[in-house]
Amino acid sequence: MPNQSGNVYGLTILSPILDDPTIRISHDTALRIYLEKLPRHEDGPFAKVSATHLCRLVVMDDVVFVGAPAKQEHLQSKYLVFTSNFYGDLDAYLADMAAKIPDVVNDIWSHCVGYPGVRDPKAFAAYMKNCQIETTFFFAAVNDKTVEQTLRALQTKVEFAAFVEENQGRPPAELQAAFSTFWHRLEQLPPLRAGARELTRIRVAGVSGNAP
Amino acid sequence: MTNINGKAYAMNAVTPMKPWKTPILKLVFFLLGAIKPLQNKLIDLSFIHFARWVVVKRGQFPRLASSQPPEDLDYDYLLFFSNFNGTWNQYIDAFSDVLAGGLNLIWRWSEKFPGSIPITPFKRYISLVQFDTDYYYDSYPYAAINDVKAAIRVDDAVRLFAEGSEKLTPAQFQQAYLELLVKVQPDLGAIGPAPVGT
């Protein structure tokens, strides 16, 4: 299935943008202004749609004229492009968007033709599927991990590297005890926050220290 | 700059294709998907999180109301969306260097594509057909795809090690721990900052 690679789905949405020459700020401009200010990190909306690995929103003004002898042509509408690379099922993802970030979805897609709102999640999903273009070829370097699994793996890497550094030269029995404490505490840690700007190391307390 | 979030760059490109060429390109993508070894070079480059190619036929642009004017196009369009690490120049240089054949196979059906070698007209063409991202979200912006792959290898290895480690004697533990370190040490390097440049 071209939209999918393993357990990751490559969603491509083209939503025609409203064109109203009577308003002071056109819908495409208003969208650009809104998107410019929308938080992109752990405080951003897509951090709450937890299946989202990476996504983007793009206002596509027109197609490109590549030069003669190609023909110059133009789109009659501008389009909002939404591409998302997420783990799991499309219906579940769209339902999560409607449930977790309804205000942002409304703020964005209210600029688009035929948008029904999110009050009726099924109508919203049907609208998005009407705007969906099948991805012809989708490549995912890692296609079998959820966002949480990926964040946990990043956390393990960083914390274990620190453990190795801080426990060099320990006698075997002490090392074994230290690792056991480290591992149990690491497993209790909450995962890293999705969208965070930096990977903030949480010291797994009580197990780090210089070798005797 | 909204094309960039941490270590990831969101690239978008659109190129026109004569409609009779579209089925050929779709066959190329079908074969690329079906014959996995054809993707090996793309996998080995290892600086792309996700990439997609989307063919939009000239009659396929969504029209959701009668008030929306219908599109009247002669060309089909190939959209390309990539999420890669490194700078734009590094990305295009690497593709031209390593995947010239693959790039040509995909984009030769697009109008005025100059080929991926030599690099100057190729970069000029990509600049022409590229359009900027307005909003880009990355759930782990500090991590390049190599950081993610390394983390998964470390996590898998340490979890497996942890499962059996408590039953070992201290001497056995030390031996197993050293074997673990030898296995994962290439992947324990720090997750450094993103490259600076264009």
What does the pLDDT look like over A142-185, one tens digit per residue? 999 999 999 999 999 999 999 999 999 999 999 999 999 999 99
Highest mean pLDDT, choosing among A187-196, B67-76, B82-91: B67-76
Site of tokens 């990751």: A8
Check if A11 contacts B (Cβ < 8 Å). no
Q: Do B86 and B173 share a structural domain?
A: no
B148/A154 Cβ within 8 A: yes
Written as six digits, the tokens of B172 are 């056995």
Structure confidence at residue B102 (pLDDT) = 87
> Going by C-beta distance under 8 Å and a sequence separation of 6 or more, which residues neighbour residue A107?
A34
> In angstroms, what separates the C-alpha of B133 from chain A's closest C-alpha?
5
Q: Check whether A205 has a pLDDT greater than 80.
A: no
Number of independent structural domains in chain B: 2
SS (H, E, C) chain B: CCCEECCEEEEEEEEEECHHHHHHHHHHHHHHHHCHHHHHHHHHHCCEEEEEEEEECCCCCCCCCCCCCCCCCCCEEEEEEEEEECCHHHHHHHHHHHCHHHHHHHHCCECCCCCCCCHHHHHHHHHHHECCCCEEEECCCCCCHHHHHHHHHHHHHHHHHHHHHCCCCHHHHHHHHHHHHHHHHHHCCCCCCCCCCC
Q: Is B120 among the domain residues?
A: yes
Q: Do B175 and B95 share a structural domain?
A: no
Residue of chain A minimizing CA distance to B27: A136
End-to-end CA distance of chain A: 57
Q: Is B135 among the domain residues?
A: no
Q: Which of B82, B139, B145, B173 would best serve as a mutation to test chain A binding (most A beta carbons within 10 A)?
A: B139
Domain coverage including residue B151: 145-187
Instruction: Calculate mean pLDDT across residues B188-194.
Output: 85
B50/A77 Cβ within 8 A: no
> In angstroms, what separates the C-alpha of A1 from chain B's closest C-alpha?
9
Structure confidence at residue B75 (pLDDT) = 98
Q: Do B114 and B179 share a structural domain?
A: no
Q: Do B117 and B75 share a structural domain?
A: yes
> In angstroms, what separates the C-alpha of B146 from chain A's closest C-alpha?
10
Phi first, then psi: give them for residue A83, nearest 5 degrees.
Answer: -120, 135
> In angstroms, what separates the C-alpha of B165 from chain A's closest C-alpha?
8
- In the DSSP assignment, the letter for residue A74 is -
Q: Do B97 and B183 share a structural domain?
A: no
Averaged pLDDT score across all residues of chain B: 93
Distance, CA of B42 to CA of B84 (rounded, Å): 12
Q: Is B194 among the domain residues?
A: no
Q: Do B71 and B165 share a structural domain?
A: no
Residue of chain A minimizing CA distance to B145: A141
Check if A123 contacts B (Cβ < 8 Å). no
Residues A136, A2: contact at Cβ < 8 Å? yes
pLDDT-derived band of residue A209, with 50, 70 and 90 as boundaries?
Answer: very low
Written as six digits, the tokens of B136 are 């880009």
What are the tens digits of pLDDT across the range A30-45?
A: 999 999 999 999 999 9
> In angstroms, what separates the C-alpha of B120 from chain A's closest C-alpha?
16
Q: Which of B134, B173, B174 would best serve as a mutation to test chain A binding (most A beta carbons within 10 A)?
A: B134
Check if A41 contacts B (Cβ < 8 Å). yes
Averaged pLDDT score across all residues of chain A: 93
Distance, CA of B125 to CA of A99 (rounded, Å): 42
What does the CA dihedral B64, A10, A89, B44 come to, rounded to 10 degrees? 170
What are the tens digits of pLDDT across the range B1-22?
A: 589 999 999 999 999 999 999 9
Residue of chain A minimizing CA distance to B53: A137
Q: Do B156 and B125 share a structural domain?
A: no
Q: Check whether B113 has a pLDDT greater than 50.
A: yes
Instruction: Calculate mean pLDDT across residues A6-26.
Output: 97
C-alpha distance from residue A3 to each of A12, A88, B122 (Å): 9, 12, 28
A47/B137 Cβ within 8 A: yes
Phi first, then psi: give them for residue B153, nearest 5 degrees.
Answer: -65, -45
Q: Do B122 and B32 share a structural domain?
A: yes
- Which residues numbered 61-90 in A keep a CB inside 8 Å of some CB on B? 61, 63-64, 66-67, 70-71, 73, 75-77, 79, 81, 83, 85
Phi first, then psi: give them for residue A70, nearest 5 degrees.
Answer: -60, 150
Distance, CA of A195 to CA of A41 (rounded, Å): 4
B16/A16 Cβ within 8 A: no
Residues A142, B51: contact at Cβ < 8 Å? no
Structure confidence at residue A201 (pLDDT) = 75
Structure confidence at residue B1 (pLDDT) = 57
Percent of chain A with pLDDT over 90: 91
> In angstroms, what separates the C-alpha of A9 from chain B's closest C-alpha?
10
Q: Do B106 and B22 share a structural domain?
A: yes
Q: Which residues of chain A lie closer than 8 angstroms to B148, CB-CB? A: 141-142, 150, 153-154
What are the tens digits of pLDDT across the range B65-83?
A: 999 999 999 999 999 999 9
Which of B48, B53, B131 has its CB closest to that of A136?
B53
Q: Which residues of chain A lie closer than 8 angstroms to B139, CB-CB? A: 46-47, 52-54, 147, 150-151, 194-195
Q: Tell me the whole-structure pTM to 2 decimals.
A: 0.94
Q: Is B193 among the domain residues?
A: no
Q: Do B120 and B177 share a structural domain?
A: no
Q: Is B82 among the domain residues?
A: yes
Q: Do B173 and B115 share a structural domain?
A: no
A12/B81 Cβ within 8 A: yes
Q: Do B77 and B27 share a structural domain?
A: yes
